[in-house]
Structure 1
């Protein structure tokens, strides 16, 4: 499959099924690190993998294990990108180094997708998920972010901070965009599609954690990793519920 065809097919699967989305951040001693989002849509393949393969044709019946960067994808879509506004082109520039890894097998009942990138400072990740939704502008009226159905565009501005003493994840809701979304007839459809999906935050730090503002956080044995799980509807409709602060031991 060509890169864009593969990603478009992934859009379809992400839109059709309940998935588990996991947002991962790994921070090193010097503040550099890695950010990724994983999507596990294997439940759909378990239920309807054969039927999907039949509907999508011979190519979709084959096992897929594909890795590419957005930079490669943007090269394929350079004519469409040239027609975007300078602001949108600048937004896409932020994600060109994301590596996309997709594994799909109807026989093994497997469908997983991973988007990952390195960062020099966690502040670089400001609005990175919302930037993914800019991808939908490459096709008129179509597509969405790599995880389908406008993933990342949850009417908020997301930022992260880390200074060695504290870490924060802060989403500030854009009330104007929220009001516009309330008038959108497709909002109820989106809510229905993702009603049984989950959104997981899994963050690893170089220091032991003293305390976390979210009481539902689970700690690893060494207290350097936390995991917090939310309904996906919270991520989309109440993104500020995912805000929290971490304090570290001295």
Structure 2
């Protein structure tokens, strides 16, 4: 459990610095696949290395390559988890279908974090943002520090101000976003505080991998792999948070 919350603390540090964010989806012909959310804070490792022995760099000064399969973690630590508050238990249980992988190496300046899950139907991908919020809000027995800025994803997903929907019928894939509570959406942005400035240079990149070549992508500026089965689209991270509809698009695949 202690190692787990050390990993959580390190990963949360990533969300409060200038990172590059990626939403990666791998779709099979039958509509099943894998969704992965990645944060790359490699550019920040120089800052981490200059933190010395301070509390803020605790746990981040040594190389780490760890994977947690939450389903196994929950089973192996069920007695310890039972001692946490009901709220913390609920957050951990929300991650039961996910896997976390974290790599940190101060020497190579690498700091990468991935949260992923497999899915049976590409129409049911909305739980990723719920999991991200549950993960970002994990505190452990010590609780969260006071005045800690909100997770940048706190307004997205279930119980948030922005609803993100995915649909796929075998040929057409759609991603659509809608602000359902403008006041709450603004509160989520305001809660970032000074972190909003640090996110100014961050990008949010879509990497979608399909079973067949992409015939069309509804946004200008997309890039394709040589076989056109992978499409990449990038926007400014803060631009996306302010206007989630920037990532509304439609992908049409070639016929089978």
With over 3 angstroms needed to count, the CA separation of the structure-2 counterparts of 1:108 and 1:160, relative to structure 1, is same
Residue 158 of structure 1: which of 164, 180, 184 is its match?
Answer: 164
Q: Deviations over 1:128-171 (max 9, x none)?
A: 2133213455438737xxxx941432331112111112000111
The alpha-carbon distance between structure 1 residues 207 and 136, as it changes in their structure 2 partners (threshold 3 A), is closer
1:23 counterpart = 2:23: yes
1:9-29 C-alpha deviation (Å, 9 max, x unpaired): 2212431x2111111001011
Q: What is the aligned residue count?
A: 238
User: Where do 4+ consecutive residues of structure 1 move more than 6 Å?
Assistant: none
8 Å contact kept, 2:95–2:135: no
Taking a change above 3 Å as real, the CA distance of residues 136 and 107 of structure 1, as seen in their structure-2 partners, is closer
Counterpart mapping for 1:1-250 below 5 A: 2-15=3-16, 17-45=17-45, 47-56=46-55, 59-71=59-71, 72=73, 75=78, 76-80=80-84, 83-84=86-87, 89=90, 93-139=93-139, 142=144, 149-154=150-155, 155-175=161-181, 178-183=182-187, 185-250=190-255
Q: Is the 8 A contact 2:150 2:192 kept in 1?
A: no
TM-score relative to the length of structure 2: 0.82
Distance in 2 separating the partners of 1:39 and 1:136: 13
Uncovered stretches (5+) of structure 2, i.e. residues with no partner: 156-160
**Structure-2 separation of matches of 1:134 and 1:59:** 22
Q: 2:158 is matched with which residue?
A: none
Alignment CA distance shift 1:25-1:157 (3 Å)? same
- The answer as to whether partners of 2:210 and 2:229 remain within 8 angstroms in 1 is yes
| Aligned equivalents of 2:246, 2:70: Cα separation in 1 | 30
Q: Closer, same or farther in 2 for the Cα pair 1:79/1:44, shift >3 Å?
A: same
1:135, 1:79 → 2: CA distance?
18
Q: TM-score, normalised by structure 1?
A: 0.84
Could you say what secondary structure the match of 1:104 adopts? strand
Higher helix residue share:
1
How large is the RMSD of aligned CA atoms in angstroms? Answer: 2.7
Deviation string 1:21-56 (CA, Å, 9 cap, x unpaired) is: 1110010111110110111101110x2232235224
